[in-house]
Structures are given as C-alpha cells and as structure tokens.
Amino acid sequence: MCAAPQYAMCLVAALFCALCTPRALAADDSAKLPPAEIVRRAVHNEISCNQGPGLHFMFKDEKKTPQLSQTKLMVETNDATAGLLVMENGHPLTPQQRHDEEARLAAYVQSPQELRKKKKQEKEDAEHTLRILAALPDAFLYEPDGTEQSREGLGGPGDELLRLKFRPNPNYNPPSHVEQVLTGMRGDLLIDSAQDRIAEINGTLLKEVAFGWGILGHLDPGGRFVVQQADVGNHQWEVTHMELSFTGKVLFVKKLAIHSSDTFSDFHSVPSNLTFAQGVELLKKEAAENSSAARAVEAGRQSGKLSGGAQNQNRAQAKVPATSTLCCDR
C-alpha cells in the first residue's frame, strides 16, 4: 500500500503505462472503430509492452512545486530506478548537498534490505498499473472529441492524435479497491492511432476518493492529473510530462496538498543488465560531465564578456587621440 503523502503519485503511476516496447502496427484503419474498441486496442498494446523486458533509459527529471524546483538525473536498472539530485532552484548543489545525495544512494547500495523494499514498491506500482489499464475500456464511456497533431513530448512524430472524452460507466463494477478510483473520474484521452498508444490522459476527480481503505484519508473532488508520453526514438515510448493537483486529508485531520509538475527529457538507453550500484556510478559520472560542461560554458561566457569589454575599451581609447587631434588642428 502506498504511504499517504505518496498516494497521488501512486494513483497516477497506476493510471499510466511507461517503459514499453512497440508491437506490430495494425493494418486496418482504427478511425473506423468504435471509441471503446480504440481504447481497448491501445490498452492491449500498453499491457503487451509492459510484459516484455523493454529497454532501460537514463533521463532528466525537472520537477516544480510552489516551494521549489529540482533537477534529477534518473536511471533504470534491473534492481530499481535510481535518481540523483543535481540542481535545486536553478542552482548547482553545494558540496554538502552533493555529499548527502551520494550518501543517500550509497545507503541503498550498502543495504540489500532497503533496495529490496524499493524494488518491491516499484513492482507493486507496476502491478497496479496493469490492473488499472486493463479496466480502462470497461470503466468509462467514451465519445470522440476531435483530433490534434502530435508535438515534441506528446505522441509519435508526425502522428495524428484522436481525442476521446470519458466519463464513468454506471454499469461498471470494480473488482477491487484498486479499480474503485475509476468510478469517480472523468476527463480526456489522446490516442496515437498510428501506433496504438495512449499519448495523454487528463483526469479530474468527480467525487471524494479514499485511500488506505478510507482509514488513511481521502482526496477531494476536483483533484486533477495530466500524464503525457511520447515516442522518444525507434518506437520506444516514455512518460514525458506529469502534473498533479490534489487536496485532501490524512487520518481525517491533517490536510494534504499536492501541486507539482515533472518534465522528463534527454532519454538515452543504458545496458539492460545494469545493477543499481552500476546505475549510481553512471549517474555520478553523468553529473560530473554535465557540471564540467556547464563550467566550460560559463567560463566561455565570462571570457566573452571580458573580451568584449576590452574591445570596447580599445575602441574608446582609439577615439580619444582622434578627437584631440581635431581639437589641436583647430
């Protein structure tokens, strides 16, 4: 079960599929299919993708909240996903912050028990994803709502995206508390029909949603989330953007407010047999290279400013004798 402060994130994780490999494209024109069947095909493809080993990626996560902004380098490994904080509020980490981050990751490497707990949590989230995805075709009623063109970070390059509005299906009977959340949600789906993929899900809670079987707390009506994914190359799809906006209560007393956005970019593949310890070393190496490159750019910028200032000074000095000569000539 997800902890209360993490529930909204787990909810979104359970409502969207990522890290998939493509299947063969369908030959028939999906635009002729009923909306529910279009969703069913896309969901089938997402689930099929999740069942394979897939590729592992390193990428950048830029997270913003009302209080701060953070940039992390992330890498997927055979054990779990590792993340290294590299910037906060637009500034590089201090030496103490870098030490703390590396110590945090080292604790996972040095404690197999903690790493197993992390891996178990990620596995549970993935299982929730499959259960929720499998329910999407039957949990909602869909209707077409136009199309839009894909763009960077959304859908496949050059693909047309079909927009479908969805609302709760009154005849849907959720088999467990995991799928129960779907009975109180409406919103929009964007389907990339060319690749049978879900490019975006934009959902809003219509009613209060309990978590922890109602014992831990609830999320208020009006809570909203947006998740987008895209083809990041060679038909490999990854989540590229996520927004959360939820309020509620924990243990019926403490107020809960989650407002954040994450943008995921700079995807590049890493070895599929990467261990967590190897992933951490890869993150540290990438962070060091990025830091060196940033320093070089800054040094070049400062050098340009100094050079420009010197040139301006030389031009000014060159003008002074000319003016004096004219004066003296007069």
Q: What is the DSSP string of 23-64?
A: -PPPSS-GGGS-HHHHHHHHHHHHHHHHHS---EEEEEEEEE
pTM: 0.79
Q: What is the pLDDT of residue 261?
A: 96
DSSP structure class, residue 247: E
Percent of the chain with pLDDT over 90: 57
* Mean pLDDT of the residues in the chain: 82
DSSP structure class, residue 11: H
Q: How confident is the model at residue 206 (pLDDT cuts 50, 70, 90)?
A: very high
What CA–CA distance (Å, rounded) separates 240 from 95?
Answer: 30
Mean predicted confidence (pLDDT) in 204-216: 76
Closest CA to 36 of 141, 153, 191, 185: 141
Q: What is the pLDDT of residue 110?
A: 94
Percent of the chain with pLDDT over 70: 77
What CA–CA distance (Å, rounded) separates 98 from 92?
Answer: 9
Residues with Cβ within 8 Å of residue 158, at least 6 apart in sequence: 150
Residues 72-107: tens digit of each pLDDT: 999 999 999 999 999 999 999 999 999 999 999 999
Residue 85 near residue 74, CB atoms below 8 Å = no
What CA–CA distance (Å, rounded) separates 113 from 105?
Answer: 13
Closest CA to 85 of 109, 65, 60, 57: 60
Mean predicted confidence (pLDDT) in 264-270: 95
Q: How confident is the model at residue 23 (pLDDT cuts 50, 70, 90)?
A: very low
What CA–CA distance (Å, rounded) separates 165 from 237?
Answer: 23
Mean predicted confidence (pLDDT) in 269-294: 89
What CA–CA distance (Å, rounded) separates 297 from 302?
Answer: 9
Which spans in 158-250 are helix H? Answer: 177-180
Mean predicted confidence (pLDDT) in 267-277: 93
Q: How confident is the model at residue 179 (pLDDT cuts 50, 70, 90)?
A: confident
Round to the nearest angstrom and report the end-to-end CA distance of the chain.
Answer: 92
Q: What is the pLDDT of residue 324?
A: 35
What CA–CA distance (Å, rounded) separates 326 from 262?
Answer: 64
C-alpha separations of 103 from 59, 74, 107, 217, 227 in Å: 21, 16, 6, 33, 31
Q: Of the ranges 144-153, 202-211, 291-300, which one carries the lowest mean pLDDT score?
A: 291-300
Please name the amino acid found at residue 236: Q
C-alpha separations of 159 from 113, 156, 237 in Å: 45, 5, 14
Mean predicted confidence (pLDDT) in 252-263: 88
Q: Is 103 helix (H, G, I), strand (E, B) or coil?
A: helix
3 pLDDT more than 50: no
Q: How many CA atoms lie within 13 A of 320 on its CB side?
A: 6
Closest CA to 85 of 76, 77, 94: 94
**Domain edges within the chain:** 4-305
Q: Of the ranges 54-63, 170-179, 220-229, which one carries the lowest mean pLDDT score?
A: 170-179
DSSP structure class, residue 4: G
Q: How confident is the model at residue 218 (pLDDT cuts 50, 70, 90)?
A: confident
256 pLDDT more than 90: no
What CA–CA distance (Å, rounded) separates 85 from 287?
Answer: 9
Continuous segment of H or E residues that includes residue 307: helix 276-329
Mean predicted confidence (pLDDT) in 251-268: 90
Q: What is the pLDDT of residue 222?
A: 93
Q: What is the pLDDT of residue 311?
A: 60
What CA–CA distance (Å, rounded) separates 211 from 220?
Answer: 11
Q: What is the pLDDT of residue 18?
A: 37
Q: Which of 7-21, 44-58, 112-126, 288-302 has the highest mean pLDDT?
A: 112-126
Q: Is 316 helix (H, G, I), strand (E, B) or coil?
A: helix
